[in-house]
């Protein structure tokens, strides 16, 4: 078997925790190219860790109108975070993302060292230009690479999951939750769910996942739920200040 096709690797086949046989791993050329890409990315992750900058990553719905009272709530939340000198990151789109970026720019007027970031995605089924409240915008054609950048930007900060969320926000929440659960992300990084929606989700997860033994009880405590957006601010500021203090002491 040619090593150029499968890098000379094999998959051990196990049953009951014991090795039974070895199944050769044969990949077509196209899949082998992706395997090399993934291995290269893993090496980069090991050798180029995320910068120790405390940023707050926000995931939320693109379908909230500016005249919705919730919009002003998230705008005020974000303003408080950047006014304290900490960056804010969103998907750079409309709805609650715009509210958060708008609030970030308001806070930046008080503390110019903060940034308002947008990690934008090229929409396949609709036009969705970046909102007008970004100091820095990034553009992705793939959801996977976009999510990877979200993770790196928030590595030493916090993640906030907004209320009135759709399926995309739920996927983003779930991935961050699992990365923390598997210790692929630091457990010191807060994952904060805002509103009744996520409180009910936590109760659902306890009933159907934790209490039935499909996850450790501590895994149900990864996401902290708060009733209002402003209730997330003290948690975020504490985490970001902790990172900044650790960076100052080396």
Instruction: List the domain boundaries for the chain.
Output: 3-47, 55-248
pLDDT of the residue at 129: 85
| 176 SS3 class | helix
Percent helix, percent strand, percent coil in the chain, to nearest 5: 45, 20, 35
pTM: 0.86
Q: What CATH architecture applies to the domain 55-248?
A: 3-Layer(aba) Sandwich (3.40)
Cα–Cα distance measured from residue 206 to residue 214, given in angstroms and rounded to the nearest whole number? 10
Task: Give pLDDT tens digits for 152-169.
Answer: 999 999 999 999 899 999
**Rounded CA separation 249/102 (Å):** 33
Q: Is 234 exposed, middle or buried (0-12, 13-18, 19+ CB in 10 A)?
A: exposed
- Judged by average pLDDT, the poorest of 7-11, 79-83, 98-102, 175-179 is 7-11
């Amino acid at each position: 078997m040619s090593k150029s096709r499968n890098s000379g690797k094999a998959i051990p086949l196990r049953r009951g925790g014991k090795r039974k046989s070895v199944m050769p791993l044969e990949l077509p050329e196209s899949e082998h190219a992706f395997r090399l890409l993934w291995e290269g990315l893993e090496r980069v992750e090991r050798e180029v860790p995320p910068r120790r900058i405390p940023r707050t990553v926000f995931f939320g719905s693109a379908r909230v109108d500016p005249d919705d009272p919730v919009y002003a709530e998230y705008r005020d939340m974000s303003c408080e975070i950047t006014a304290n000198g900490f960056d804010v990151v969103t998907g750079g789109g409309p709805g609650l993302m715009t509210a958060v970026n708008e609030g970030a720019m308001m806070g930046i007027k008080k503390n110019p060292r903060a940034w308002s970031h947008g990690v934008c995605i090229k929409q396949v089924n609709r036009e969705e230009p970046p909102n007008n409240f970004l100091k820095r915008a990034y553009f992705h054609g793939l959801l996977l690479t976009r999510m990877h950048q979200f993770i790196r930007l928030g590595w030493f900060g916090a993640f906030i999951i907004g209320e009135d969320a759709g399926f995309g926000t739920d996927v983003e929440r779930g991935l961050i939750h699992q990365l923390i659960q598997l210790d692929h992300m630091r457990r010191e990084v807060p994952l904060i769910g805002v509103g009744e929606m996520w409180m009910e989700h936590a109760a659902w997860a306890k009933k159907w996942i934790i209490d039935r033994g499909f996850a450790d009880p501590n895994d149900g405590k990864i996401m902290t739920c708060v009733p209002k957006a402003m209730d997330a601010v003290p948690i975020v500021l504490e985490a970001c200040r902790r990172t900044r203090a650790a960076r100052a002491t080396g």
